[in-house]
Amino acid sequence: MTWAEPIRVHTAHARPGMLTLLLKEIRHNPLLWLLVFVPAVLAGEKLAPESHTLLFVLSVLAIVPLAALLSHATESVAAKTGDAVGGLLNATLGNLTELVIALAALRAGQYMLVKASIAGAIVTNTLFMLGASFLLGGLKHHVQEYNRVGARFQAGLLFLATIALLIPSAMAGADRAPGIAFTRTLSLGLAVLLIADYALGMLFSLKTHPELFAGAEHGEGDEAPWPLALALPTLAGVTVLVALVSEVFVESVQKAATEFGMSPAFVGFIIVALVGAAAEMASAFSGARKNRLDLSVGIALGSASQIALFVAPVLVLLSYVMGPAPMDLQFWPGAVVMMLISTLTASLVTNSGRSAWFMGVLVLLVYVIFGMTLYLLPPAVQ
């Protein structure tokens, strides 16, 4: 097909044509009409910074279409690069959002909120994203098979990353209060080890063993993928917009939540995590519906691993530069239990490389019970 080559090259460089393609996409997809809330929320923050409930609602409405755009852009890149790299790319950009949110809390010295959002992101990405992917995929496909080797590897990575993250908490819980200096030094050493490990993990999945992460045979997607010249700039630009809107969301969510009767633990652990991961969820769910469960599992487990191996240690290190005091990695006991259960669940359910709708129901059940527990927990205990 040598004659087609010049056309593709030409298309890839035609920026105005790209914008036309993007606008056409928006015109045909009613969900994307919600993009009007992006300027609305940014304007609202300037004009009425005290209308917390309004800003909260506007920011959620604005994040949804941005997540949808990000989803299509990531899938387009994934279509050209393979599911694993696409999943990795998506998780990194999605977690950039969480990193930006946590950085705002870090600057304000709200370390409990930072830790709750780290723990909540691991639990939500693992249980909710995985469970809902299994359920949504299973409602359309009788039994879904996916790359067991990749899933087991990622579940093992997540298990080990979570264990590493939890050792300071486990030691503080198991032993008689070894002291804040011990916990801080341990957390700092841990942060350095986790980031080194994350870099080695990138080397492994992208350079030395990419084939372990390759997706199984898939059905074709129903939407045409964008060319890279549209997908890559959209990925970058939409991520920035998500970050901007997310900051408004975080500022408003605490006060809006109090009005809705939600406890602070529920907000940090569930609401912030769900909205922060909205973009990745759109991709994961879309993959599951298209019977590309490798993509869904890769996003869910990869995203949770990156929170543990990358976002959490980076926040510890940045707390020495940007925060009022060094942050350690000691979580409250209930969060430790929930993180451990989430990663064990991920290991057990991805073990077989098969899924059906009820598997999703079970995983979601554990998530719903966690959410119910946090919702009911009296504030003094958290």
Q: Footprint of a copy of itself on residues 206-245 (CB under 8 A)? A: 208-209, 212
> Any contact of residue 334 with a copy of itself (CB under 8 A)?
yes
The sign of the dihedral angle between the CA atoms of 132, 135, 140, 145 is: positive
In the complex with a copy of itself, the residue whose CB is nearer, 234 or 263, is 263
> Any contact of residue 349 with a copy of itself (CB under 8 A)?
yes
Query: What binding mask, one character per residue, do residues 188-207 give for a copy of itself by CB under 8 A, x or -?
Result: -xx--x---x--xx--xx--
> Burial of 54 by CB count in 10 Å (0-12 exposed, 13-18 middle, 19+ buried)?
middle
Beta bridge partners of 354: 145
Helix or strand holding residue 284 (H, E): helix 278-289
Total of chain residues touching a copy of itself, rule CB under 8 A: 71
**CA distance linking residue 47 with residue 26, whole number of Å:** 27
| Conformation bin of residue 82: beta by default, left when phi > 0, alpha when psi is -120 to 50 | left
Report the nearest approach of a copy of itself to the CB of residue 328 (Å). 12
Among 182, 218, 233, 237, binds a copy of itself (CB under 8 A): 182
> Any contact of residue 361 with a copy of itself (CB under 8 A)?
yes
In the complex with a copy of itself, the residue whose CB is nearer, 56 or 134, is 134
Tell me the three state secondary structure of residue 144: strand
**CA distance linking residue 246 with residue 62, whole number of Å:** 9
Q: Are 129 and 303 in contact (CB under 8 A)?
A: yes
In the complex with a copy of itself, the residue whose CB is nearer, 194 or 278, is 194
Report the nearest approach of a copy of itself to the CB of residue 148 (Å). 8
In the block, residue with structure tokens 């070894």 = 178
> Any contact of residue 318 with a copy of itself (CB under 8 A)?
no
Among 42, 186, 241, 316, binds a copy of itself (CB under 8 A): 186
Tell me the three state secondary structure of residue 129: helix
> Any contact of residue 262 with a copy of itself (CB under 8 A)?
no
Report the nearest approach of a copy of itself to the CB of residue 239 (Å). 27
Footprint (CB under 8 A) of a copy of itself, residues 6-45:
none
Q: Give the pair of three-digit tokens for residue 143.
A: 């039994």
Report the nearest approach of a copy of itself to the CB of residue 223 (Å). 28
